[in-house]
Amino acid sequence: MKQADYAISIENLSEDYHVKFIYPDRAIERRIRALDKINFTVTRGESVAILGPNGAGKTTLLKIIAGMLKPDYGHITVNGKVRGIFALEAGFIADLTGYQNLKMAFKLYDINDAGLDQIVEFSELGDFIYAPLKSYSQGMYLRLAFSIAINTAPDILIIDDILAVGDYYFQRKCIAKIKELI
């Protein structure tokens, strides 16, 4: 397969964490292999779900794909602009309004303000877009984060288990938007 045919290519990817366990009578540091020789390719336009139990390395893998972590071993190639939603507060400043955070994200992603109204409309936050984020519920955070990620033209959209915090209506809206992009 030519490089232009795939969005993500992963070869023999491994990632280790060093975790210090502090017991009542001793402390032990152990190497934990979060990912062990992972291999797969995602073609352009393909949707992939990564499933597994808690602690299986799903978020670690997604963060490597997003460029937030570098793998300890192996090789990864990502073709395209990646947007990821991992933690609700990530990248946001709680004392700023949703609108101010949105303007800051546009500067960070080097995007002109043309899509600003579209994002505000998609989020359905109403007047809360002008309220400080510290007054937002988790669902409101999700609305803002997803609206930014989905409306800034990503080639690759990574969504960790964050959609679980949204209300049913907004979850359905997000899934419909993802299907539209596919």
Tens digit of pLDDT at every position of the chain (182 positions):
565 688 999 999 999 999 999 999 999 999 999 999 999 999 988 888 888 888 889 989 999 998 889 999 999 999 988 887 776 566 789 899 999 998 888 887 777 777 788 889 989 999 999 999 999 988 888 888 888 877 777 788 887 776 665 678 887 888 888 788 77
Q: Which residue has the tokens 């803002």?
A: 144
Which amino acid appears at position 128 of this protein? F
**Per-residue pLDDT, 171:** 79
Which class for 124: exposed (0-12), middle (13-18), buried (19 or more C-beta within 10 A)? middle
**Per-residue pLDDT, 88:** 55
Q: Are 178 and 156 in contact (CB under 8 A)?
A: no
**Per-residue pLDDT, 162:** 67
Q: Are 174 and 150 in contact (CB under 8 A)?
A: yes
pTM of this structure: 0.73
- CA atoms of 145 and 172, how far apart (whole Å): 16
CA 53 from centre of chain? 19
**Per-residue pLDDT, 166:** 65
Question: Pairing state of beta strands 156-159 and 82-85?
Answer: parallel
Torsions phi, psi of 33, nearest 5?
Answer: -85, 105
